[in-house]
Amino acid sequence: MRSGGMGIERYGKIDLHLHLDGSLPAETIFKLAQRESVELPADTADGLRPYLTAGINCESLNEYLKCFDLPLAVLQTAENLDLAAYELGLELWRKGLCYGEIRFAPQLHRQKGLTQEDAVQAVLSGLGRAASESRKGMGKSGIRLRTILCCMRGSGLHEANLETVRAASRYLGKGVAAVDLAGAEALYPTGDYEEEFRFARSLGVPFTIHAGEADGAQSIRKALEFGALRIGHGVRAIEDEELMEELAERGCILEMCPTSNLQTKAVRSLSEYPLRTYLDRGIKVTVNSDNMTVSDTWVGKEFALLSQEYGLTEDEAGKLLENAEKAAFGM
């Protein structure tokens, strides 16, 4: 594994929880909008940033999710999805990552006639080009990139979610690594999506589920019942002693995202962040960015934040990176 970077940020080499639409730079979104004549609320990339970033005063996950409206508006063609995935993949490589799993919901990219499969093929094309180009860098090893396809929480999305699982099955091992469940967790409980994940299991598609972020420990319990190998966030597991024991016994991975968890009010401050408690209990925790643009971060910056404001040690950082290496769906 190549060892670019200084200080604690050098542990930010793997990102397992990273959303495509929430991680595009303002410059990329501005360029994509111009290509498709999408109306924007600002005349420059700098002017777009306030519309793309959740501020310190963000009050909830639902408010946080509003920052995705503009990126989604410009990601409705195969050409734009390809370019977005390509530019994000290269950005991760430039920051020193050796592996990334970039997730997106193909059903959200059908406003201009794309099918879910069209969207998947476009993103895989962009990620493939980025990975190939990264291997041409002088004296540097390349980056491996995979995608996770997100089913969505919401009303009337069952058939679209099943199609997402089918698409994941068709492209599993060809750039797609797993499926996920994302969206407004408190409004649409995890327990409502049992059929989607029964279907995923029947097709041999591994999955992670956003759980224990805006909803409580019972959401994580449901995800485990369904057979999730990883949990997105999992912050609320701290509320249930038996659940923490089960997570440790199963070796289930928690994909934690500190800045995002603060912004969505999954936790009120880093002083009460349960990451160290989880490590001490033998739970396999990883650190990730969630949304590089919405949260103005990247995985190395997350390690720096934890070091500066949480007292994360080098030994702990090393353990977190080791967990990520072992937890990756597609390494």
Catalytic residues, by residue number, are: 213
Give, as one character, the DSSP assignment of residue 256. Answer: E
Taking the CB of residue 184, how many other CB atoms lie within 10 A of it?
16
The string of DSSP letters for 275-289 reads: HHHHHHTT-EEEE--
Give the max Cα distance, the chain.
Answer: 53
Query: From CA 153, how far away is CA 150, in angstroms rounded?
Result: 10
The strand order across the sheet containing 230-233 reads 208-211, 230-233, 253-256, 284-287
Q: At 121, list the tokens.
A: 């093929």
Instruction: Say which amino acid occupies 212.
Output: G
Query: From CA 60, how far away is CA 283, in angstroms rounded?
Result: 26
Counting Cα atoms < 13 Å in the Cβ hemisphere of 92 gives: 36
Q: Which residue matches tokens 């793309």?
A: 52
Contact between 91 and 25 (Cβ < 8 Å): yes
Give, as one character, the DSSP assignment of residue 245. Answer: H
Query: From CA 206, how far away is CA 147, in angstroms rounded?
Result: 12
